[in-house]
Structure 1
């Protein structure tokens, strides 16, 4: 998740499964790798655990 978020912050990426970015990619990253990245990113976002809640204290 962090890698994709950092790519977004730096204005890099925006790669979709349509393939438009792989045709002009200076690193020649294939659509297969882009698809794998997008799948793994979605899975990680779904499985990401929410931040732990602070314990309630009584006063």
Structure 2
């Protein structure tokens, strides 16, 4: 049985420190995901819908949110 490797990299923290986004490559196609921070816990990941198609190479929060 082959083991599935999930690569996570390129994190970006939101300016108000309530969320972070990062890249996930678990099927050979990088995508952006976001998690919200609540105290010491983080929410489950949700895919970020982008206005472009293709693999994601970088995530970055804007200074104004």
TM class by smaller structure: under 0.3
So what's the TM-score if we normalise by structure 2?
Answer: 0.23
Structure with the largest fraction of strand: 2
So what's the TM-score if we normalise by structure 1?
Answer: 0.24
Structure with the largest fraction of helix: 1
Which protein is bigger by CA-based radius of gyration? Answer: 1
